[in-house]
Structure 1
């Protein structure tokens, strides 16, 4: 499934109301580890169709980052049925993301 950009405007529809789990990558353009995480998330999104993959720029969507307690980036949150079901902070391998998603 293709990676989507989520913002404060579409977060509720794309993430909270999704009928499948959603992995949200909280990132920023200036963050080196975030740039290293991006291709891993992108690659996994091409392999897994049972999960929606999304990116959220913390600089442009600070309210959401604050709401979900994101203090360090990259932070990856898994949402199921509108609630946080798992999280990981820092650069993650594809294998650890699979584990986080229960794959």
Structure 2
């Protein structure tokens, strides 16, 4: 993604192959880049992607373009879901402290 080199944008065509089949733990933000809190979360995920490179991957779904994915998980905008072995295994809603995202990732 432009400006966030450690975050991969996914859509309804790539979600399964990128996120659900990912061999490492993932965090996925379901947001809209024109919303400031979503951009703030992307900055955090970008930093986490750098910090945990090889151990975790960060993804982004634009809910305005791919709202079927958004509705699939019955979540609010700016929700971050942790996926482990292709399954949702935790979430945060909205902007939080950096340490909360580290805790959600669960890799220490």
Normalising by structure 2, what TM-score?
0.88
Residue in structure 1 matching 2:59, options 29, 54, 58: 54
Offset at 1:51? 0.5
CA contact (8 A) 1:78 1:85 kept: yes
Number of residue pairs matched by the alignment: 102
Q: Partners in 2 of 1:59 and 1:70 — Cα distance? A: 14
Q: Partners in 1 of 2:44 and 2:6 — Cα distance? A: 13
User: Residue 17 of structure 1 corresponds to which residue in structure 2?
Assistant: 21
After superposing on structure 2, the runs of 4+ consecutive aligned residues of structure 1 that deviate more than 6 Å are: none
Offset at 1:37? 1.5
Residue in structure 2 matching 1:95, options 95, 99, 104: 99
User: Residue 80 of structure 1 corresponds to which residue in structure 2?
Assistant: 84
Q: Partners in 1 of 2:40 and 2:22 — Cα distance? A: 27
User: Residue 42 of structure 1 corresponds to which residue in structure 2?
Assistant: 46
Normalising by structure 1, what TM-score?
0.92
| Unaligned residue ranges in structure 2 (runs of 5+) | none
Offset at 1:29? 2.4
Q: CA RMSD in A?
A: 1.3
Offset at 1:43? 1.2
| Unaligned residue ranges in structure 1 (runs of 5+) | none
